[in-house]
Structure 1
Amino acid sequence: MSSDPFILLVKTLGNLYLFIVLLRMILQLTRADFYNPVSQAIVRATSPLVLPLRRIVPAIGRLDTASLVLAFIVQLIVVVAVFSMVGFNGSPLHYAIYTIAGTLYHLLDLYFWAMLISVILSWVAPGANHPGAILVGQITAPLYGLCQRVIPPLGGLDLSPIFIFLGISILKQFLSPYVI
């Protein structure tokens, strides 16, 4: 949009917190280890805003809707801040589209990076016991399992990451015009 350093700062800080909130939602959705030190850090960083929202927004099954609502709020704040810095006055529909598309885009981006880390770890440190590596494995396992139902591993060669990367890339291309 612009080369304004304030816009870069707002987008970077907002997207960083959005990443953490989305990660909390995914950790609960995939039932990742709550006692993992990385999980604990994510919970501590998001609890001041998620816990009050939980009183208003109930969970739906395993989906932590309070974290999802917080993710939309964080993205909306970033969209409003950037649009106001640029001088764009859009309708509420513009803000809603950019908020939803931006949140979905960053969720896909989170899975892209988790998949990439998972693939690299499978090459250099298979079976690693580091808390971060265990968490990445817990986050990506449901996605691998879903893809492996359609495309089973071929003689020890798992092609599912290729198709997952391809799917994520295609979805991100559809959403990219609506991401600030």
Structure 2
Amino acid sequence: MSYLLNALSMLIQVAFAMIATLFLVRVAAEATRADFHNPLSQFIYRYTNPVLRPIRRVLPNWRRINLAALLMVWLTLLIERLLIFGLGGFMPLLPGLLVLSLADLLDFVLLFYIIVIFGWSLLTMLSADPYQPIIRLAGAIIEPVLRPLRGRMVVGSIDFSPTVVVIVLLLARILMAAPLFDLGSRLAQGG
């Protein structure tokens, strides 16, 4: 690929990752019942609701999971994958494209939680204001993931539960997302 195509590919990936993150935060915030009065929650609701409102009429929530927003994350990653393939001059087979975009979704969710847990841990270690909107939203999103280990991994006054959860998420990327990527690649090429 030429340098210009690499730059264009990077810009596409950044733009689509930002869109997917917006919808994924909406899914996570609703699933964890994050504080709606948080300015970040209101921002996310305001900018995702026009897209999600018509979809939610057809695809309602399942328990506390906003399936319409999850569908939008998947579709965003599918379109991104299709554009990247198009830039390379390759048109994948549909089953491979669907599996690759599902692998992208799984990997994106795992990476999202790794980054949020790492950022939240770093900010809390630096004694940032716990009432900052981003810290409150991140704390609400990761609390259900950390809750099973909370208090069980304490050494001295340091809680290692975020570290253990990040290691588990990294292993999930290797053991779950990577094989799905391999399967999708084989199917995309017709093999």
Same fold (TM over 0.5): yes
Report deviation, 1:74.
0.8
Deviation sequence 1:116-150 (CA, Å, 0-9, x none) = 1221122112662111111111111111102338x
Which deviates the most, 154-163 or 26-35? 154-163
For 2:41, the aligned partner's letter is S
Q: Does 1:12 align with 2:17?
A: no
- Report the equivalent of 2:32: 30
**Structure 2 residue aligned with 1:168:** 169
1:73 is matched with: 75
> What is the CA deviation profile of residues 68-108 of structure 1, one whole-angstrom value per residue up to 9, with x for unaligned ones?
11111111111111111112222111111111111111111
Displacement, 1:176? 4.6
Q: Distance in 2 between matches of 1:2 and 1:81?
A: 16
5+ residue gaps, structure 1: none
Distance 2:155 2:11 in 1: 45
Q: After TM superposition, give the deviation of residue 39 of structure 1 in Å.
A: 0.7
Instruction: Tell me, yes or no, if structure 1 residue 157 matches structure 2 residue 161.
Output: no
Give TM-score, length-normalised by structure 2: 0.85
Identity of matched residues, %: 25
Shift of 1:162: 1.5
Per mean C-alpha deviation after superposition, the further-off stretch among 166-175 and 115-124 is 166-175
Q: In structure 2, what residue type is equivalent to 1:166?
A: I
Q: Distance in 1 between matches of 2:65 and 2:113?
A: 17
Q: CA deviation at 1:38?
A: 0.5
TM-score normalised by length of structure 1: 0.90
Q: CA RMSD in A?
A: 2.2
Aligned position for 2:117? 115
Q: 1:2, 1:86 within 8 Å by CA — same for their partners in 2?
A: no
Between the two proteins, the alignment pairs up a number of residues equal to 179
Q: Which secondary structure does the structure 2 equivalent of 1:87 belong to?
A: coil
Cα-to-partner distance string for 1:3-57 (whole Å, 9 max, x where unaligned): 5222111111011100111110000011101111001111122112111110110
Q: Do 1:72 and 1:100's aligned partners in 2 also have CA atoms closer than 8 Å?
A: yes
CA 1:99–1:2 in 2, change beyond 3 Å: closer, same or farther?
farther
Which among 118, 121, 135 is matched to residue 133 of structure 1?
135
